[in-house]
A and B are shown apart, each in its own frame.
Chain A
Amino acid sequence: MTDLQIVLNEWPRLASGFGNTVLLFGTSAVGAFLLGALMVGPLRSQNKVIRVALHSFVDGMRMLPFLIFVYLLYYGLPTFGVKLDAWTAGLLGLIIYHCAYVAEILRGAWDQLPAGQTESAQAHGYHGHRLMRRIILPQLFLNSAPVFGNQLIYILKDTSFLMIITVQDLTYAASSLQSMYFVPLEPFLIAMSLYWVISLSIEGLVRAVQRTAKVRGLGRA
């Protein structure tokens, strides 16, 4: 049996790993974006305590490696009696870590938004989460599509770190195939191609969003 045939025989293993990666990526991406969108308002709050606390959180996440944060959740929390399994620790890690980045991107984009946008909406009676949802957030996302696309790709790549705490993602699958059957090349080539395909899809999504933005005169050059 050639190496390739061995790998093709074991396709369920790869498919399962790929599925886990996509599941982790999709869920954490949605979670991170939701949480980040919820956070950006308070991040710009007048209340100094809230603002400083959130800023510290965001700055902290942006200066920590992702894996160390996951280590904290997976290996560190048991000290306080909170025992998370690898999957939960990984998912929580992805969501909490990346929501800080999303919040920061949104904050930067909001600062660049002409003040008139917020003011005119407020003059018409918009406030709170309706203001955010209908007026502010859509513009922020449309304006900064490429930056968000990049963040999505970072989330995707960070899922692979979870294999170190034994989450059975795509890289884990490729690695175990390689070590079980001594097929060094094919599993990794297939895994890298699959990551590439997801990444290209994200870039395609970004371009589509940019087209939507352009029609409305939004988006930066």
Chain B
Amino acid sequence: MTAGGFQMLLNGAWTTIWISLIAIVCGVPIGFGFSLIRVKRVPVLSQIVALYVSLGRATPLVTLALFLFVTLPVFGIDIDKYTAGVVALTLNTASFNTEVWRSAYLAFPQSQIEAARAMGMKQRLYFWRIMLPQMWYSALPSLVNEMTLLIKASPAIAVIGVVDLTRVTNRIAAQTYEPLPPILIAGAMYIVIISVLVRLQRRLEKRAERYAT
């Protein structure tokens, strides 16, 4: 492994990280918004979201990324591979996040809502002041779990040409004819990135336990 190879690996890691970050940052609030549509049972929209969630969770990322990259130009939307990658990851993670938020809402202790209603609080008030601050705590471990899954699935964008941390190993091997070292190092880098998230998730789980009186 040459110094140049290391540089390429770092570039690949950076690509993986920034694309994943955008997808995560967009996917959490989008999932939240969609979960609201579902729990409020907005007519028509609620069914569409349910359909999207079911499809989104069942569609492999490789297939989705290819589909977006190849099909959208036909409808006049010129999309570059990076945008297609980000959109595919976001659509995918948002569908899972919708369910995470929805579970947090449905699992919220009815007793606290009753106390709020008995004191004359209206639904919008107690949703934002009582439910949401606590739903964050119960949803966060699952949201972070979803983030680790996103990073583990991110190599899917290699199929549309994005040189991420996985695909870059092909490039390095093409130059050095030694495929094993870059793969091992890339694997180690993934483990480092993901273990940070896993540790965060464990800490959040302990904190959520404390709040679940």
Contacts and interface: CB of A to CB of B under 8 A. Distances in A.
**Chain A in direct contact with chain B (Cβ < 8 angstroms):** yes
A157 interface: yes
A161 B178 CA distance: 22
B194 A171 contact: no
Interface string B35-71: 0000000000000000000110111111110110011
B183 A175 contact: no
A196 interface: yes
A68 B186 contact: yes
A76 B178 CA distance: 9
Interface stretch (A59-67, A109-117, A206-214): A59-67
Give the size category of B's interface with A.
Answer: 35 or more
Interface residues of A, number: 39
Nearest to A157: B60
Contacts of B178: 79
Interface string A173-184: 011001000001
Interface of B: 54-55, 57-64, 66-67, 70-71, 73-74, 148, 151-156, 158-159, 166, 169-170, 173, 178-180, 183-184, 186-187, 190-191, 194-195, 198
A87 interface: no
A171 B63 contact: yes
Contact of B55 (A63, A175, A192): A192
Contacts of A163: 62, 159
Contacts of B152: 64-66
Given A75-B183, A79-B180, A161-B155, A200 B71 contact: no
B74 A195 contact: no
Contacts of A62: 198
Given A63-B190, A65-B166, A185-B71, A164 B159 contact: yes
23 contacts: A63-B198, A65-B151, A66-B152, A68-B183, A69-B187, A71-B166, A72-B187, A75-B169, A76-B184, A153-B57, A157-B58, A157-B60, A157-B153, A160-B63, A161-B60, A163-B159, A164-B155, A164-B159, A171-B66, A185-B74, A192-B55, A195-B59, A196-B54
